[in-house]
Structure 1
Amino acid sequence: MKRQRGHKARLCLTPAQTLAAEDQGHAARAMWNLVHDWWTMLPKERRSLAAADEAIRQGRRDLPWLGVLPAQAAQAVLKTYFQAWKNCWDGRAQAPNFKGRFRSRMAIDIPQGRDLQIVRLNRRWGRMWAPKIGHVLFRWTKDLPVGKRADKGNRVTGARLVKEADGWYVVFRVQSEVPEPAQHTGPTVGIDRGITKPLALSDGSFRDHGPWLTKGEAERLRRLEKTKDRKRRARKPGEKNSRRLTRTYDQIAQLRATAKRRAIDWQHKTTTNIAETFSRIGVEDLAINNMVKSARGTVEAPGTRVRRKAGLNRAIAGEAWGRTVTMLEYKTADRGGIVVKVPAPNTSRRCSACGFITAGSRETQARFVCKNPACGFEANADTNAGRNIDHAAGQAVSGRGDLGDTRSAKRQPPSKPHAA
């Protein structure tokens, strides 16, 4: 079967290449905004992909500063914008909107893989071609299907240049042909996602991590945040940011990018280990966007405990629960397993031994004691939730007929809640 994956590598640009890439990034953002204005102002009956393509060509002729963006990259902006509307119409995303200069990430598409001209120079470095930028170096951290190793089924189909807080990166789109994965025969597991315990497994184990920043880095971030607030108070309303304030913003962004890279690295390693060990993985189907909504309320009905809720929202966002599930889904599928999403209500309140929900069973945030006189089951609260999720996932899979048979594991889903 064919498999599409992305591979991200750091670019090493010269100062001139950096300026050229930033010019193209600004032009791509402006192209998106122009297409958005053109699309929303036209009547619905006159909107079409062909008309938008002609408008882009005319705009490149009339506006010389748009010419710094390669023609294929401009076409990629249009295709991405049109796909954003399709995702909106299908209910998968919100409607596309204006891209602000400081709120959007610079990105430049290179849609044709044959234009990249990828060459491996040595063990650490590779070279690629970026239109109107030239040959650029990138870190070679993964073997790519290039040169004699490339064929119709295994090749790099395109790339995208993106600017992060710590510099420019390239994301290659890699297509490969792999055999169908054999059925995974490992045990099953349920995973409860939390904050104190990031991942609690139904087998009683946990997947923990420490702070993403060291004490020195966290202290430096705290000082930079104070410096930023002091400089912002000194700035007059509507006044342009000073160079020192801009530099402070950049330093804060670099530290936060460091923390994010470490978080993603931990997630990749942890989800790979889980996908290799378990055949069926149950997770809660959480509405994370609703969970992290602000508690400020309105002027007429102000919210309560707003600061506490804001801290909880930051903690949830920092764990990136959705990204964890996304990684588990494709890694488990590559290994012949399956990820099952189960309803979230009562997974933390139900006893995984007797199946009853009794008031006060969750004595503390970390301890679950069943108040049913005939049970008395005790366990870590997150472990108990993981067992309930595993049981619910087993019932969901077994109720699908053939899917339950083809994805069966060594331990079949029980017909009743877990025994203590």
Structure 2
Amino acid sequence: MLPAEVRKTDDQAHAARTMWNLLHAWWRMMPKEKRTLGHADAAIRQAREDIGFLAVLPAQAAQAVLKTYFQAWKNCWDGRAGAPDFKGRLRTVMSVDVPQGRDLNITRVHRRWGMASIPKVGRARFRWTKDLPVGKHAGADNRITGARLVKDALGWHIAFRVQSLQGKPGPHQGPEAGIDVGVTVPIALSDGETYEHGEWLTGKDKTKLLNLEQRAARRKQHRKPGEPTSRRLHHTYDQIAGLRAKAKRRAPDWQHQTTTVIARTYGTAVVEALSITNMVKSARGTIEEPGKNVAQKSGLNRSISGEAWGRTVTMPAYKTAQHGGTLYKVPAPNTSRRCSACGFTTPGSRQSQAVFVCKNPDCGWSGNADHNAARNVLHLYRMGHALIPAAGRAVVRRAKCVKPATAR
């Protein structure tokens, strides 16, 4: 995007966030019998007339904010999420929704580039990374229904919503595989296959990041207390954020590629039902009862969060279904401490992150600890211990959400 287009899109994103906050404030003030979609629609129409800067947001985008807000409450009442809250300026991802695909007018101008019309912004160029149903390839069963603009440290990105008619895939005839996620080995399978990755930043990127951080520290030292941040320091901060955003994007890209290979290869995938939120809790404790090995636990928590185990487990769910396979979950306790050869669980068998030695005198099997855990995961599935989540049993540990009797 050109600088003028970036400023216009930024204004729309700020207006969309303000619209959400106004809706949430209106919801908290109104009585339960008036918390309806019709009353909310009238409220945002009045707000767009009274508050001038909200007019930069297209009417369709404002309606999308309204629908998203009511859907957030519906997810809360169904137990799938916590209660909606106000969106802060710094902690909220800037985004704008284009709910109608006909407003985009997408054309392909080059093998790598395309053009799209953004309402109240103009024609913007985007990188053509995947085939889109435009022109003669578009139809009633294969069309673009909308798009969403999202901003990160690298700039604005556009994601298109595509509606396509796909046939139901036949049953996947591939083998079964147990999947174990870890820190040293990100993904290990029960058949001995492993999927690993290197550092998200190359050596050149790391050197550049270190130099930028040192430059920012030097420039910050020369700033007097209360003095605004200089333009040079802001530029250095932007460069640092850009490098970190590059590393952040490489992680899900590797996960997408890896889970796609797994979904294509195996007909049945089995993973552990991990409670990651409890696994990354701090060991700091309290003043009366201080925790032990706090620094080591903190490092482990960072490693678990960096590997994004939750995303690694959820991605194969829809990918296996697209290829005719199935994903199952099994209980996680003792999968890393049980010997897959003899079936005994003895203390101290897992000697490290990579080595497992069975302490059973009649067994003594030794091997890779991650492969051992993956085989145990597959064994639990074959023994009939797969978990089938019942509808409405999701546990929400965030803000309490109570559905009003008169809400619609």
- Measure, in 1, the Cα distance between the counterparts of 2:113 and 2:305: 34
Q: TM-score, normalised by structure 1?
A: 0.87
Partner of 2:60: 72
Unpaired stretches in structure 2, ≥5 consecutive residues? 389-408
- Measure, in 1, the Cα distance between the counterparts of 2:224 and 2:79: 42
Aligned partner (choices 80, 83, 100) of residue 92 of structure 1: 80
- Measure, in 1, the Cα distance between the counterparts of 2:29 and 2:225: 32
Partner of 1:387: 375
- Measure, in 1, the Cα distance between the counterparts of 2:223 and 2:278: 35
- Measure, in 1, the Cα distance between the counterparts of 2:222 and 2:297: 29
Where do residues 358-369 of structure 1 align in structure 2 (5 Å cutoff)?
Answer: 358-369=346-357
- Measure, in 1, the Cα distance between the counterparts of 2:41 and 2:379: 52
Q: Which digits, 9 at most, give the CA deviation of each residue in 1:30-67, with x for residues without a partner?
A: 11111111212323333222211111000000011100
1:98/1:249 CA distance change after superposition, 3 Å: farther
- SS of 1:92 mapped into structure 2: coil
Partner of 2:24: 36
Partner of 2:402: none
Q: Which digits, 9 at most, give the CA deviation of each residue in 1:106-156, with x for residues without a partner?
A: 100000111111112221111111100111111112111122211221111
* Range with bigger deviation, 156-165 or 310-319: 310-319
- Measure, in 1, the Cα distance between the counterparts of 2:51 and 2:108: 38
Instruction: Give 1:226 shift.
Output: 4.7
- Measure, in 2, the Cα distance between the counterparts of 1:60 and 1:316: 44
1:241/1:398 CA distance change after superposition, 3 Å: closer
CA contact (8 A) 2:172 2:324 kept: yes
Partner of 1:375: 363
Aligned partner (choices 151, 166, 170) of residue 178 of structure 1: 166
* Range with bigger deviation, 87-96 or 168-177: 87-96
- Measure, in 1, the Cα distance between the counterparts of 2:73 and 2:218: 42
- SS of 1:329 mapped into structure 2: helix
Aligned partner (choices 255, 273, 279) of residue 243 of structure 2: 255
Partner of 1:312: 300
Opposite residue 349 of structure 1, the aligned amino acid is: R
2:178 corresponds to 1:190: yes
Unpaired stretches in structure 1, ≥5 consecutive residues? 1-12, 401-420
Instruction: Give 1:183 shift.
Output: 0.7
Partner of 1:26: 14
Where do residues 115-154 of structure 1 align in structure 2 (5 Å cutoff)?
Answer: 115-154=103-142
Partner of 1:158: 146
Partner of 2:403: none
Where do residues 295-310 of structure 1 align in structure 2 (5 Å cutoff)?
Answer: 295-310=283-298
Q: TM-score, normalised by structure 2?
A: 0.89
Instruction: Give 1:232 shift.
Output: 6.0
Instruction: Give 1:229 shift.
Output: 5.5
Opposite residue 321 of structure 1, the aligned amino acid is: W
Partner of 1:268: 256
Q: How many residues align?
A: 388
Partner of 2:2: 14
RMSD: 2.1
Instruction: Give 1:237 shift.
Output: 7.4
Q: Which digits, 9 at most, give the CA deviation of each residue in 1:344-399, with x for residues without a partner?
A: 10000111122111122222331112222222222211100000011112334889
Identity rate, percent: 63
- Measure, in 2, the Cα distance between the counterparts of 1:61 and 1:96: 25
